[in-house]
Structure 1
């Protein structure tokens, strides 16, 4: 494999644009990127989630079985401690499903907290601190 290959973006699907955009912006700190064709993306630094949802024609270049709202399982890195993740999620009224628990991610061992987005996709915040 060529050196330097890494993940650039992936796709999630949502049922309610406003509800999901508020969640990803307010809880996870995503930059909201509006595209001229009506698409939206949630950007985290130089990585992003492209978003499919109601009323959007995404064309033919999609997975054979496109992702459905609530059908994703994503892990994002958190710059602080796992205890700070818990405090942050509670402050935003987000129910924690599990954690902190020890997990291994892309950077090795860390501590993770699991919760769900408004559509039910499983989200994980991992801390490597």
Structure 2
């Protein structure tokens, strides 16, 4: 008997907040290759709905929400909010670093790391350093971080021949999900 959420199948989407949806769409579609699927209009409440349901200040307004698909994997739900100027907690314009509580990044699997890095650089995207070869159980993997125009950290990751843990003599009952082989 499992102790997990009954019926849980996996991650459906990742929600991110951006300062400008048009800029975000230009990056997500034009650089990363995501596909815009649909848009939801503004959401505003005159009561405490926003605070109760989403955990934001009650007078906060969702300007618009756009949904995207990027290859095999989780969908992206991209929000633009409006926070009243006199609100006690202003909207933070600097995203958290990975080391901050709530810090995060999105990792995109690619078949050819070098071609993907060159593509990003050709679009003027800030690539943070050079691809790194992982060690230990993740040997066989290469990765590099990059930033969206609004500062969100993303990562390219590639391991076309698999990772060391998949080829070890130690019996591994579950393998991590692989975007290039979604059925495995």
Band of TM-score, shorter chain: 0.7 to 0.9
Structure 1, unaligned runs of 5 or more: 57-66
Structure 2, unaligned runs of 5 or more: 42-63, 84-91, 97-103, 161-184
The structure, 1 or 2, with the larger RCO (C-alpha pairs under 8 Å, 6+ apart) is: 1
Whether 2:84 is the aligned partner of 1:53: answer: no
The two structures, once aligned, show a CA RMSD in angstroms of: 2.9
Q: How many residues align?
A: 117
Q: CA deviation at 1:113?
A: 1.8
Question: Which of residues 33, 40, 44 in structure 1 aligns to 2:66?
Answer: 40
Which secondary structure does the structure 2 equivalent of 1:86 belong to? Answer: helix
TM-score, normalised on structure 2?
A: 0.54
Name the structure with the higher strand share.
1
Q: Which has the larger radius of gyration?
A: 2
Deviations 1:38-88 (A, max 9, x none): 4201211352110111359xxxxxxxxxx977344111111x221112111
Tell me the equivalent position of 2:26.
Answer: 22
Q: Show the 5 A alignment for 1:1-129.
A: 1=4, 5-37=9-41, 38-45=64-71, 47-55=74-82, 70-71=95-96, 72-78=104-110, 80-103=111-134, 109-129=140-160
Does the Cα contact within 8 Å between 2:38 and 2:68 map onto a contact in 1? no
